[in-house]
Amino acid sequence: MSREKLVAIGEIVRPHGLRGEVRVTPLTDRPERFESITACVVWDAARDERQPRRVIAARRQGDAVLLAFEGIESPEAARALTGRLIAVPASEALPPRPGSFYPWQLEGARVTTEDGRDVGRVTRIEQGPGQDLWVVQGAEREHLIPAVAEIVLDVDVAAGRVVIRPPAGLLEL
């Protein structure tokens, strides 16, 4: 099975009804995309287990989405999918809104200070209560960089480059 980079667009939270539907919490700011999806990957990210699935029905219910998959026809079969992510290949991700980017697009980006000092590479993004934290692996240690305008001066996704102005002591924490 392909090891193409996947982008999670939802998380299966529980079965719904008696015919094998699942209730999905959208992880996208455009949940309407589920209405046109015909195929996805049901992904256990922790084990990187991927199950390609054909979507046979999708409808919104409040803030959630209800999905039906080909071959999943009972609540028991749907329950086995609880906790898995609904993902699509990165090549099928919707383009970000103008002037924005997806956090996963920063993975591997080189981070430098405004005076050119190398900090490291973004390895992952952790969501925080106030702002995201960019985890940057330096030569000797890991740094947590708050994703706020006062610190992040420039992000060039195409070039894989981020420029920051860290407050005193941030890179020593």
Length of the chain: 173
**pTM score of the predicted model:** 0.72
Residue 8 to residue 146: CA distance in whole angstroms: 22
Alpha-carbon distances of 99 from 10, 49, 95, 155, rounded to whole Å: 23, 33, 11, 10
Q: Is residue 111 within 8 Å of residue 87, measured between CB atoms?
A: no
Beta bridge partners of 144: 135
Pairing between strand 39-44 and 49-61? antiparallel
The predicted-structure confidence for 21-32, as pLDDT tens digits, reads as follows: 999 999 988 899
Per DSSP, the three-state class of 134 is: strand
71 has a pLDDT exceeding 50: yes
The predicted-structure confidence for 72-82, as pLDDT tens digits, reads as follows: 999 999 999 99
**Domains, the chain, ordered by start:** 6-92 (2.40.30.60), 103-172 (2.30.30.240)
